[in-house]
């Protein structure tokens, strides 16, 4: 999803699947395989329906995969989303 700090915390609490592969692959979009540096968090129910917590996906790739535009309510209340939520709710 994802915010690097949250992802690291989650990974450390699941050592059975925290592997070297995660370290090596975490900066590439799961869908297009291009480098990804997005920092955002979608709500768990939306993200986990499509990807796991170790995966990283561009926002635009996530939208294309989802088949509809993302809305402010799709993002978690985490502070990292403040700018995105602001941009999506100003009219």
Q: Smaller CB distance to Zn ion: residue 55 or 74?
A: 55
Q: Smaller CB distance to Zn ion: residue 4 or 89?
A: 4
Instruction: Please report how close the Cβ of residue 89 comes to Zn ion at its closest, in angstroms.
Output: 25
Cα diameter, the chain: 46
Q: List CB contacts of 78: < 8 A, sequence separation 6 or more.
A: 3, 6, 41
Instruction: Please report how close the Cβ of residue 30 comes to Zn ion at its closest, in angstroms.
Output: 8
- Residue ranges in contact with Zn ion by CB under 5 A: 29, 31-32, 58, 61
- Which residue's Cβ lies closest to Zn ion? 29
Q: Smaller CB distance to Zn ion: residue 31 or 84?
A: 31
CA 47 – CA 60 distance, rounded (Å): 14
CA 56 – CA 74 distance, rounded (Å): 16
| β-bridge mates for residue 55, sequence order | none
Instruction: Please report how close the Cβ of residue 61 comes to Zn ion at its closest, in angstroms.
Output: 3
């Amino acid at each position: 999803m994802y915010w690097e700090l949250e992802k690291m915390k989650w990974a450390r609490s699941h050592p059975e699947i925290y592997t070297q592969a995660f370290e090596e692959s975490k900066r590439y979009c799961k869908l297009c395989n291009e480098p990804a540096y997005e920092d955002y968090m979608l709500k768990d129910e939306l993200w986990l329906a499509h990807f796991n917590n170790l995966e990283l996906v561009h926002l635009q790739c996530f939208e294309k995969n989802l088949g509809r535009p993302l809305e402010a309510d799709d993002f978690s209340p985490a502070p990292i989303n403040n700018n995105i939520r602001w941009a999506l709710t100003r009219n």
